[in-house]
Amino acid sequence: MRIPRMRFPTFGPTLYGLALVMVVLGVATPFLPIIVKVQLINFLLFVGLAYALNFMTGLTGYVSFGHAIFMGIGAYALGGGIDRLGFPPLLGVILGAGLGAAFAVGIGLVTLRFRGVYFAITTLVLFLAAKNIVPEISQLGGGVGIFMNLGFQPLAEFYTIWTIVVLEIGLTYWVTHGRLGYGLRAIKSDEDAAKTVGVNASRLKLTVFGISGMFAGATGAVYAWTLSAVLPDTGFDITYSLRMLAMIIIGGAGTLLGPFLGAIIVYVPYNYFQTVQSLLGLQLAVIGALVLLIALFIPTGIVGTIRRHVPILRRYIE
């Protein structure tokens, strides 16, 4: 039997709200002071990463500890594209997205057979292996990295990451409200049962893992663009894996608004603590404590908990 397509005459307040925020950001940014522009770029990088992981961990429940591997692939794609092939940065970002998706599908074909903690450990191990192997490849700059001398292009960077985030929000909405969403929710609650009723679990998982890798790759490429360099340490930075996971867990995994909220909550201390010397090392500790408490007491995150306990808001927040 074919599952009927869900009908949605309106898009719902959450999507309109997010669209409004993105339009305001898109229109206002050229007129803002340079320091605010830089902060907005960094903030949107966090948002982009949060939505990227949300496709995989949020929608299927498969926890990935190594998602920064796709950031690294995107970053090296940009670096290689600019340094070796003479690409303009935008083409480098597209290459990053393509390679991110390709690697995600390749990795997913093998690792998506593993469930639960085994998948989580495998992603972590793959990340560490890549971090060890890439500095050994002399074509990719070896242990030194690639320096691109792109100069400072805040507006181009901003609109690239802005476009990525807009695409992610739209695609998240489309995936969660379509046929794909039914299957993914079924996989998340019980994969074996989902298979029994005819959900092609492996294909669905591979699809969202590919989307997830594509966006993480694109975001990683923009991150490298803002640094104007790809170094082994900034390309493959485990703390970004950890932040991605923290953002969607805090905000609410698998929701439309959650990753955005989580990105705000993780980005503000990250940005503020960097300016206060005594708090420098504590930002990840604070975020960790938040993750610990949320996992134990409200495992569905902020958005999921609001939806569960305040039925009136269920229509407005998703």
Non-local CB neighbours of 227 within 8 Å, separated by 6+ positions: 234
Residue 28 found at the interface with another protein (CB under 8 A) = no
Out of 68, 140, 161, 291, the residue judged to bind another protein by CB under 8 A: 291
CA dist 84 and 210 (Å) reads: 26
Q: For residue 12, give the nearest of 256, 258, 260, 310 by alpha carbon.
A: 256
Of 58-117, binders to another protein (CB under 8 A) are 61, 63, 65, 110-111, 113-117
Q: Least distance to another protein from the beta carbon of 180, Å?
A: 21
| Residues 297-316 as x/- pattern, contact with another protein by CB under 8 A | --x-----------------
Decide: 256 and 15 in contact? Cβ < 8 Å: yes
CA dist 89 and 223 (Å) reads: 11
Q: Least distance to another protein from the beta carbon of 63, Å?
A: 6
Decide: 39 and 155 in contact? Cβ < 8 Å: no
Residue 238 found at the interface with another protein (CB under 8 A) = yes
Residue 288 found at the interface with another protein (CB under 8 A) = yes
Residue 128 found at the interface with another protein (CB under 8 A) = yes
**293 by DSSP, 3-state: which?**
helix
Q: Which is nearer to another protein, 120 or 186 (CB)?
A: 120
Q: Which is nearer to another protein, 120 or 231 (CB)?
A: 120
Neighbouring-strand partners of residue 230: 146
Non-local CB neighbours of 43 within 8 Å, separated by 6+ positions: 263, 264, 267, 271
Binding site for another protein (CB under 8 A): 61, 63, 65, 110-111, 113-118, 120-122, 124-126, 128-130, 132-133, 135-136, 238, 242, 245-246, 249, 281-285, 287-296, 299
